[in-house]
Amino acid sequence: MNDYCFFFWFDCMSENWQSERRNDPYYRKAKKECYRSRASYKLKQLDKRFKLIKQGCSVVDLGAAPGGWSQVALEKVGEEGKVIGVDLNKIKPFKEKNFYSVVGDFTKIEIQDKIMEVLGGKARVLISDASPKLSGIKNLDQLRSIDLTNVVIEIADDILEDKGNLAMKVFQGAEYKKMLVDLKKKFRQVKTTKPPSSRKKSSEMYVVGLGFKSSEK
What residues are labeled active site? 169
Residues 83, 61: contact at Cβ < 8 Å?
yes
Regarding beta strands 160-171 and 204-212, do their DSSP bridges make them parallel or antiparallel, or are they unpaired?
A: antiparallel
Residues 179, 150: contact at Cβ < 8 Å?
yes
Name which of 171, 168, 180 is nearest 202 in CA terms.
171
Q: Find all residues with CB under 8 Å of 157, minimum gap 6, and list them.
A: 186
- Label residues 81-101 b or e (16+ Cβ within 10 Å = b): bbbbbbbeeebeebebeebbb
Regarding beta strands 99-103 and 123-128, do their DSSP bridges make them parallel or antiparallel, or are they unpaired?
A: unpaired
The dihedral through the CA atoms of 13, 15, 17, 19 has a sign that is: negative
